[in-house]
Amino acid sequence: MIILGGVDLVLGMEWLAGLREIEVDFEKLTLTVPVQNKKVTLRAEPELIKAAIRMKIIEGTMLESELGFMVELKKVEREKCVEAVLDQVVQLLTQFERVFQKPQGLLPDRERDHAITTQEGTRIPNLRPYKYQHYQKDEIEKMVRDMLTARIIRTSSSPYASLVILVKKKNGSWRFCVDYRALNKITVPKKFPIPIIKELLDEIGGTDWFSKLDLHSGCHQS
């Protein structure tokens, strides 16, 4: 018994016998067979690898060039796979149920309080609000009232003042954002090396399922 590890195609003896005289060069990995009084050479390509590919890519390549693909079909019991993934998702949602609720109250005290160090001799940014359309002004006031009621913000006498920007979400609602660009200009930056992108991509290699999370109020749920 010979285990054929990564073999993509096996040419049986019956198929070979039907070709009658053939020429094989194992060093060059070629197989020459007669087809309609002509000799056709099949050449192996060691650099080719197995990879998942979309049918649209195959169709486009076949139309644009003379390249071909070796397609391998596998039967997958998708229903069991989907059920297993859904069970894991339900368990995850149950475990972090608090994350998906509307935030209430200020964040608990941490080991270290957040602080922003500004450059010496700089003026405190205290900017006037933007000009808003009436419906945006009403929405900002409503969102501020809701956040005060939920106690995720509180009144402040700080001399710093930054601008508010409303960004439209895909579902039609508004995202409350604060324009800190003026504050960022006078902030002493804390520089950290960013991760190597290639290493991050290697960590998710072979992953089949991805998810995204749109928090109701990401700033207060982080």
Q: How far does CA 170 lie from the centroid of its chain?
A: 18
**23-81 confidence digits (pLDDT tens):** 888 778 787 878 777 888 877 766 655 566 676 776 777 666 665 656 666 665 555 55
Distance CA 73, CA 61 (A): 19
Tokens encoding 204: 């998710």
Q: Which two tokens stand for residue 7?
A: 């073999």
How confident is the model over 169-192, as pLDDT tens digits? 888 888 888 888 999 899 998 888
Q: How far is CA 138 from CA 57, 117, 132, 161, in A?
A: 49, 34, 9, 20
**Mind listing the pLDDT tens digit for each residue in 86-145?**
787 788 878 887 777 777 777 777 787 778 888 988 888 888 888 888 888 999 999 899
User: What percentage of the chain has pLDDT greater than the value 90?
Assistant: 3
* Long-range pairs of 152-157 with CB within 8 A, sequence gap ≥ 24: 152/103, 152/104, 152/105, 152/106, 152/217, 152/220, 154/106
Mean pLDDT of the chain: 77
What angle (nearest 5°) sits at the alpha carbon of residue 194, between those of residues 168 and 186? 65
Residue 65 has a pLDDT of: 65
- The answer to whether the pTM exceeds 0.85 is no
In this predicted model, what pLDDT tens digit does every residue of 67-88 receive, in sequence order?
Answer: 565 666 666 555 555 666 678 7
Q: Which segments of the chain belong to CATH 3.10.10.10? A: 113-200
The hierarchical CATH code for the domain 113-200 is: 3.10.10.10
Q: What is the pLDDT of residue 142?
A: 92
For residues 85 and 209, the answer to whether their CB atoms sit within 8 Å is yes
Bridge partners of 33, per DSSP, are 40
